[in-house]
Chain A
Amino acid sequence: MSRKMPEIPSASLADIAFMLLIFFLVTTTMDVDSGLRRQLPPWAPEQNDDTDVNERNIFVVLVNKNNDLLVEGDYERIENLRERAKEFMENPYDEKDLPEKEPKEIPFFGEVLVTKGIISLRNDLDTQYGTYLAVQNELVAAINELRDELAKRKWGKPYENLTSDQQDAVRKIYPQRISEAEPKGKI
């Protein structure tokens, strides 16, 4: 047997590893980025698309520079916006001032009355982004809740557990039609 090799000291290994650990702690982040997904309309140089929509089919939400909300002509608190938007999109009693419905053939459901309602959101140039996002959030939440309720009535499952075909059908009944008009200086 030859001579034994001297052992490499491993006392400093811990220090080296600690140094690496601290380096990674400092330079990396852990947060998962999440947010509100939206789709912008494609760019069209001329905008004249506000003519042929019936007045009762539009749900007008205005936000002014003091972050006040005007919903369908009267002041509203942001806490009530979700209920108002749901009532508008659903129109359960076929009221005259809420949007029209048209029959459509939809898989799984057969012929259903689908609302023609459009939510129109307009804000001032001085509106705070936080308020704008809160309004957007409430409107998206209203439609998501309607979809969820429908999914539970039909299949007894929340919307996100449906198959993609079923989700498509539900999305056709409650489309997410939020239109954002060009902001004006003053409202």
Chain B
Amino acid sequence: MSKFRKDGGKELPPISTASLPDIVFMLLFFFMVSTTMREVTLKVKMRLPEATELSKLEKKSLVSYIYIGEPQPQYQKTFGKASRIQLNDQFAEVDEVQDYVIAEREARVEAERNAIITSLKIDENTKMGIVNDVKQELRKSAALNINYSSRKKREL
């Protein structure tokens, strides 16, 4: 009966893991190149409206962001449920928008200062009152290029 060999007599050779680091590094480089760093942590809830006539913001270095929306649940105790403006990493009032725009402009190279774009990331349930206040402030500080950030609407 010695025809039957014992199990495990001839083991399967283990799969070589020598190339695993290379594969992972490849993935890593892909993600490093194709993504951008998260700049701010959102403190407001954000559901962008949908639109069809979109254009992409090409030069990221020219763009500064203003967020408007209802505060996230963990901030609602202190800031309430009314829509708030977020500049950089903190909540702000309407009259701080001008200072923010000026600071953003100062941070750019001289040649690019007139081409700055302000991207308004506004929740779709926000009332227009606060949006209009912000727009007036932007006009006062001569930041006239704006971009209403929105998602691509799926065609029916």
Contact = CB atoms under 8 A, between A and B. Distances in A.
Q: A and B bound?
A: yes
Contacts of B18: 10
B49 A129 contact: yes
B24 A134 contact: no
Given A24-B31, A35-B119, A40-B144, A17 B24 contact: yes
A124 B128 CA distance: 7
B49 A29 contact: no
Contact of B35 (A13, A28, A43, A125): A28
Contact of A14 (B21, B122, B144): B21
B119 A21 contact: no
A35 B55 contact: yes
A14 B24 contact: yes
Chain B interface main SS type: mixed
Given A35-B119, A130-B125, A137-B51, A24 B144 contact: no
Contacts of B145: 37, 39-40
B24 A133 contact: no
A117 B84 CA distance: 37
A144 B144 CA distance: 21
Nearest to A27: B38
B20 interface: yes
Interface residues of B, number: 53
Interface in A104-134: 123-130, 132-134
B113 interface: no
Chain A interface main SS type: mixed
A140 B28 contact: no
Interface of B: 17-18, 20-21, 24-25, 27-28, 31-32, 34-38, 49-57, 60, 63, 119-120, 122-129, 131-132, 135-136, 138-140, 142-150, 152
Given A35-B51, A182-B132, 17 more contacts: A28-B31, A28-B37, A28-B38, A29-B36, A33-B60, A33-B119, A34-B54, A34-B57, A35-B57, A39-B145, A40-B135, A42-B144, A43-B139, A129-B123, A133-B51, A137-B51, A183-B128
11 contacts: A17-B24, A18-B24, A24-B35, A29-B37, A33-B119, A34-B149, A36-B53, A125-B127, A127-B127, A129-B128, A144-B53
